[in-house]
Every structure is written in structure tokens, then in C-alpha cells.
């Protein structure tokens, strides 16, 4: 069974569009994250949700908004996509005590 799953795996879209990436975890974890991997392979944290409360927001443009309908889901919505948004986005989850984080397989977003 997949612990952290995100869809779609690949997403190609035009500038100006609005898109969403879904993430679900079946581990019963309390904290979920979204990371952006840039062209140099750095993972940069974007958001962290703990019991539906945003606890970290690392200077991400407000075009990006996380939506958590329940503890098992943290979806990433992106409005007015720009070329610079092209990257791989990773979802992750961990227990609230900050133990090991489990990562999804990544979503490669390409904005054309």
C-alpha cells in the first residue's frame, strides 16, 4: 500500500492557468508538508499543516495555497501559473513529534 500518494505524476499546462496537485497519506500522521525541488535539486519547504493549521509558510507567493479537507489530505492549489513555477513538487507527512517524514513520488509540473 502506498503511504503517501500524490496525483498527477506529470502535469503540463499553460501560463496563467490554475491547477491543483492532490496528496493523500494513509499513515495516520498529524503533519503534512509540501516541498518544491528546484533545478539544482534543492528541496525547499513550502507549507506544513498540523491538524489543519498552517504552521510553516516559507515566503511562498500567495498564488500557492494549500487546502486540507481532512488530516489525510493536503492539496496544493496554484493560481495564475508562471514559467518559474516549473519544478517537481513533493508531498510528505510525519507524526507531529517530528519523526521520519514519508515522501510521495513527486509531481513534475511544467508550465509552457
Interface ranges with another protein (CB under 8 A): 31, 33, 35, 37, 40-43, 45, 48, 50, 55-56, 58, 88, 90, 92, 94, 96-101, 103, 105-108
Go through 86-104 and write b for each residue having 16 or more CB atoms within 10 A of its CB, e for each that does not: bbbbbbbbbeeeeeebbbb
Alpha carbon distance 31, 76 (integer Å) = 15
Beta bridge partners of 16: none
CB of residue 17 to another protein, shortest distance in Å: 20
CB of residue 45 to another protein, shortest distance in Å: 3
CB of residue 56 to another protein, shortest distance in Å: 6
Amino acid at each position: 500500500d502506498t503511504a503517501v500518494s500524490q496525483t498527477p505524476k506529470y502535469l503540463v499546462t499553460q501560463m496563467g492557468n490554475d491547477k491543483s496537485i492532490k496528496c493523500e497519506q494513509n499513515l495516520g500522521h498529524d503533519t503534512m508538508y509540501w516541498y518544491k525541488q528546484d533545478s539544482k535539486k534543492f528541496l525547499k519547504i513550502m507549507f506544513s499543516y498540523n491538524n489543519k493549521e498552517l504552521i510553516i509558510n516559507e515566503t511562498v507567493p500567495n498564488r500557492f495555497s494549500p487546502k486540507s479537507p481532512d488530516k489525510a489530505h493536503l492539496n496544493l492549489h496554484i493560481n495564475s501559473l508562471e514559467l518559474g513555477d516549473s519544478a517537481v513538487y513533493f508531498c510528505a507527512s510525519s507524526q507531529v513529534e517530528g519523526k521520519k517524514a514519508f515522501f510521495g513520488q513527486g509531481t513534475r509540473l511544467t508550465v509552457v
